[in-house]
Amino acid sequence: MIVKRAEENPILKPTIIRAWEAEGVLNGCPVQKNNKTYFLYRAFSMPHYHDGARANIITSDIGIAVSKDGISFEDRRRFITPEKAWEKFGCEDPRVTKLGNKYYIFYTALSQYPPGAEGIKVALAVSKDLEKVDEKYLVTPFNAKAMALFPEKINGKIWSVLTVNTDKPPSKICLAQFNKEKDIWSESYWKKWYKNFGKHSLPLQRKPEDHIEVGAQPLKTKYGWLLLYAYIRNYFSPRRLFGVEAVLLDLKNPSKIIARFEKPILTPREYYERVGIVPNVVFPSGAMIKGDWIHLYYGAADTTCCLAYIKLSTLLREMLGKNDEVKLTRFAENPIISPQKENDWESKCVFNPAAVYLGGKVHIIYRAVSEDDTSVFGYATSKDGVNIDYRSPNPIYVPRESFERKSPNGGNSGCEDPRITKINNKIYMCYTAFDGNIPRVALTSISIKDFLQKKWNWSTPVLISPSDLNDKNAHIFPEKVRGKYLIIHRVGYDIDYSYSDTLDFKGETFLEEQRWIYTRRGWWDSRKVGAAAPPIKTKEGWIMLYHGISDDDGAYRVGAVLLDLKSPTKILARTINPILEPETSYEKEGLISNVVFPCGNVVLGNKLFVYYGGADKVVGVAAIEIKKLLKALKKAPVGI
């Protein structure tokens, strides 16, 4: 899916020249009038003495600005200010909808200081022309926020969406319908409605520790009403995550949910979203559809107003399941390599295999672990890519240098997780060297001639990552890029890259850390990502697989990125969903449960064969038509 932040972000910032909006401008909502975008937004004032509070406080007004393009706004002025007793401490977070010949602006009204749930309610300002407020009403007699009207009547009734009990959790996103306009602010209507508000709610909250709130006003699409809303995971925890999710409601009966997108479309990433009055906040507050793009307006760090573009057709296809599910197909006889008790060196587990196609065979180099937790590399071949024809009785690569030998304290050590790349007449192998301290990237090579003759004359390994960095998941790109070698690796939680003039490292120069492919917070690859294997070249670009770990369940899954042919550090696309995840017993149960971890892939015919470790115990293989994978990638241009 493509989500692009506006390059002009933040599109609205606080300004010291107007005291009423000097500290922050946020949570803006657009509406069209005479081919212009009118933008209503919340504004934080400078601290000032407030007689009702008997203290210096910051208060909120609602401002309005005008734009020809929806990006550059001018003519900023105060529009809704505290006038009534029920809003005397602030007017916040407007949502505007034009219905008929009127503009209905719902906002949060504060009647208490310090703010308390009973003093936080929904209010309404009505304007005929957005030049002045014609009417004002208190709407809810109970705690609520974030209310908006649907932009047209449904079955002859006025419909609205609002968030109930925002400050008395759990909050609920609810629907209300009115026979006539006056019902919107009828106290008797709302008191009756509130007695059974649960039956008017949409079941959107997944966990009791999460918080939900209406975001943008409902958008009409041919498939249903699209509601973009705030979903905040672990709301009461220091680990809370602000995100934007989506639900599709039936056009004739919005109480009926058609589909949901339960991954965050947007999370705090840019500086202006991470730093501000309230750090790490993205909060959806308004949206418009222009062509095939949703223009989503949101508050960033409770300080500025920002804009993002969401590809509508891609979002709807994903929500409605119209994107063909793209998954690797496992070999029915998996696992293809299992531990052998008779060989001490591979008696405990065999996993995380590299692979290369040479001389009419797939050559597999796999990690093998003995009962004393020493890792070495085993070797096997397959003519058809799935059935093993030969398996070496002895390891073909063992720890030789001090940086990969076991320390006196014992524990895990050795040579781990190989990735191999054929360049000219050599095979280069990157692997993780571990002596029980910090894992580092090591590099060795062997001539193709020796490799095919099983003469394991590997060059002396050399460390290519620095001594103080945990560095893993490395491989060399199959072709030079602008005359340099491109080496992919992972320091920390992201996939990194580094350029090098030579592969003849001397142990004196090390890989740079150019951060590249990031985790996606709230997704299946939210905790950590690492490159799987050297990419394959297609006419559309380089396909590179990667593994991702989820913060939710800790499982390892596999995704893919499409890289530009000429500039492969440019990411063209990234799969929305995993193409392989733990499902079988040999992937879910083992030394480490719920792991699929590829280190090798080869092209056989029109398919990509992927070799992976299952639950850190066995080796499996799965395949997919390259054309099918490319088709899926092209439907997921990068942005998330």
pTM for this predicted structure: 0.92
Residues of the chain with pLDDT > 70, as a percent, come to: 99
Amino acid at 100: G
Contact 485, 501 (CB under 8 A): yes
Residues of the chain with pLDDT > 90, as a percent, come to: 95
The arithmetic mean of pLDDT across residues 616-628, rounded, is: 98
Contact 119, 108 (CB under 8 A): no
Q: Tokens for 532?
A: 């799987």
**Residue 221: is it exposed, middle or buried by C-beta count within 10 angstroms (0-12/13-18/19+)?**
middle
Q: Report the distance separating Cα 584 and Cα 610, nearest Å.
A: 16
Query: Which residues, in sequence order, are bridge partners of residue 307?
Result: 297
For residue 640, pLDDT over 60 is answered with: no
Q: Tokens for 616?
A: 């850190």
For residue 354, pLDDT over 90 is answered with: yes
CA distances from 450 to 358, 401, 417 (A): 12, 22, 22
- Give residue-wise pLDDT tens across range 535-573: 999 999 999 999 999 999 999 999 999 999 999 999 999
- Give residue-wise pLDDT tens across range 65-75: 999 999 999 99
Closest CA to 225 of 97, 128, 323, 127: 97
In terms of residues, how long is the chain? Answer: 640
Phi, psi angles (nearest 5°) of residue 359: 60, 35
Q: Over the range 515-525, which residues count as b (16 or more CB within 10 Å of their CB) and which as e?
A: ebbebbbbbbb
Residue indicated by tokens 């003039």 = 501
Phi, psi angles (nearest 5°) of residue 237: -115, 155
Task: Answer left, alpha or beta for residue 618, where phi above 0 means left and psi between -120 and 50 means alpha.
Answer: beta
- Confidence label for 508 from pLDDT (cuts 50, 70 and 90): confident
Mean pLDDT of the chain: 96
- Give residue-wise pLDDT tens across range 186-215: 999 999 999 999 999 999 999 999 999 999
Q: Report the distance separating Cα 121 and Cα 139, nearest Å.
A: 7
Q: Report the distance separating Cα 522 and Cα 263, nearest Å.
A: 6
- Give residue-wise pLDDT tens across range 565-613: 999 999 999 999 999 999 999 999 999 999 999 999 999 999 999 999 9
Three-state secondary structure of 225-263: EEEEEEEEECCCCCCCEEEEEEEEECCCCCCCEEEEEEE
Strands 374-382 and 413-423: parallel
Q: Report the distance separating Cα 619 and Cα 373, nearest Å.
A: 18
The arithmetic mean of pLDDT across residues 244-264, rounded, is: 97
Phi, psi angles (nearest 5°) of residue 512: -80, 160
Q: Tokens for 45?
A: 């004032």
Residue indicated by tokens 């401002």 = 63
Query: Which residues, in sequence order, are bridge partners of residue 464?
Result: none
Residue indicated by tokens 């197909």 = 329
pLDDT at 639: 60
| 573 Cβ contact partners less than 8 Å away, ≥ 6 residues apart | 561, 562, 633, 634, 635, 636, 637, 638
CA distances from 585 to 203, 558, 593, 596, 614 (A): 33, 17, 9, 12, 9
- Confidence label for 375 from pLDDT (cuts 50, 70 and 90): very high
- Give residue-wise pLDDT tens across range 259-286: 999 999 999 999 999 999 999 999 999 9
DSSP conformational letter for 157: B
- Give residue-wise pLDDT tens across range 302-335: 999 999 999 999 999 999 987 677 999 999 999 9
pLDDT at 557: 98
- Give residue-wise pLDDT tens across range 100-156: 999 999 999 999 999 999 999 999 999 999 999 999 999 999 999 999 999 999 999
3-state secondary structure (DSSP) of residue 189: helix
Query: Which domains, and CATH codes, for the chain?
Result: 3-320 (2.115.10.20), 329-634 (2.115.10.20)
Distance from chain centroid for Cα 134 = 43
Closest CA to 485 of 421, 539, 542: 421
Tell me which of 430-434, 612-616, 629-633 is least confident: 629-633
How many CA within 13 A on the CB side of residue 519? 21
For residue 1, pLDDT over 70 is answered with: no
For residue 2, pLDDT over 90 is answered with: no
Contact 178, 158 (CB under 8 A): yes
Closest CA to 568 of 610, 514, 524, 526: 514
The arithmetic mean of pLDDT across residues 5-12, rounded, is: 98
Contact 405, 398 (CB under 8 A): no
